[in-house]
Chain A
């Protein structure tokens, strides 16, 4: 039987050899996923503001056009801010990659089915909104290709990565948003694109 990849293997693959990548994560499961592979000064973890992960990454990408930006978020978080697909398409940031970790569930609230389990296709919605480079990924090897592309391809690119349902457990990053904000800004100011790993 065909089985979808584990979300923690997916996040590890996405962030493999991250270099100077700037990363934003959406609240809930994807913030725990990002924390699961280790804290980093150039991570910004959302613990709230559902629906705003992609706009936040877009703002960062427009502010730092010479750096690559990855936003990792869940299907439920993405569904709350679908208009952001259109806003990203209009801006057409060459340095932005969007990875939607799609388990078709609201994992934080009891695994209720999300719209992506019930007929809504986030890849098609994003393409319809005007993002040209969109794909649905169901295998870890494809995630590896997406990882390479987010460092090299002219964006924006979007990957909806279907993952196995079920909780991966909570791994909590720092929860003081003020401190994480200052840390991120300071790290960016200090590195100016020269950081490696």
Chain B
């Protein structure tokens, strides 16, 4: 049995965000982020910002940092591809902190072959951009991982990505 059924890991991430005063939550919906998004929408102190494309989140969070507010970008692995130039030309050019939480597709057990190329490209693209990458596949420690990476981002003006693996979030079934 997957431990993600036992530990409410989205709630753990949510409490990390609350504790670290990360109050602007930009997202393009993904099934893997569903519960976290719901928790954030229900939080009085958080402002949720649905985006039409993940790239908007890079500028949005940079602007928020200029205004002394911390934010996070939630997206699927495909969305990382949409952010490449913005991360290079804004985040890295100006050393903005950037915290990204990526729900992975295209890994072991993926049932949609179209997801596989971007899934295997996500971490290498991040590394090529100078984004620190951590993989989280254990429900019991994902909160600690997000906490550590968030501190690295905001204390060190760093760009970081936490990859929530399909082992953690489960495999999309496509009705089968």
A: residues with CB less than 8 A from B are 22, 24, 44, 46-64, 67, 81, 83-84, 86-87, 90-91, 177-178, 180-181, 184-185, 188-189
Contact = CB atoms under 8 A, between A and B. Distances in A.
A58 B68 contact: no
A128 to B, nearest CB: 13
What's the dominant secondary structure at chain A's contact region? Answer: helix
A49 B50 contact: no
B63 A58 contact: yes
A132 B64 CA distance: 24
A125 to B, nearest CB: 13
Nearest to A57: B63
A54 to B, nearest CB: 8
A90 B64 CA distance: 17
A49 B89 contact: yes
B133 interface: no
B96 A181 contact: yes
A109 to B, nearest CB: 16
A55 B66 contact: no
B56 A49 contact: no
B146 interface: no
Given A48-B89, A52-B90, A87-B50, A59 B55 contact: no
B120 interface: no
Interface of B: 24, 47, 49-53, 55-69, 71, 85-86, 89-90, 93-96
B60 A55 contact: yes
B129 to A, nearest CB: 13
A175 to B, nearest CB: 10
A122 B45 CA distance: 34
B144 to A, nearest CB: 28
Contacts of B85: 48-50
A59 B68 contact: no
A62 B59 contact: no
A132 B25 CA distance: 24
A24 B63 contact: yes
A7 to B, nearest CB: 23
Contacts of A54: 59
A55 B49 CA distance: 11
A71 to B, nearest CB: 9
Contacts of B96: 181
B111 to A, nearest CB: 29
A47 B47 contact: no
B68 A188 contact: yes
Among B51, B62, B89, residue most surrounded by chain A Cβ atoms (within 10 Å) = B62
A28 to B, nearest CB: 13
Given A48-B89, A56-B59, A83 B51 contact: yes
B145 to A, nearest CB: 25
A62 B68 CA distance: 10
B60 A59 contact: yes
Nearest to A176: B94
B110 to A, nearest CB: 27
Contact of A56 (B50, B53, B60, B95): B60
B64 A52 contact: no
A11 B96 CA distance: 28
Among B71, B89, B93, B94, residue most surrounded by chain A Cβ atoms (within 10 Å) = B94
Given A178-B94, A178-B95, A181-B96, A51 B55 contact: yes
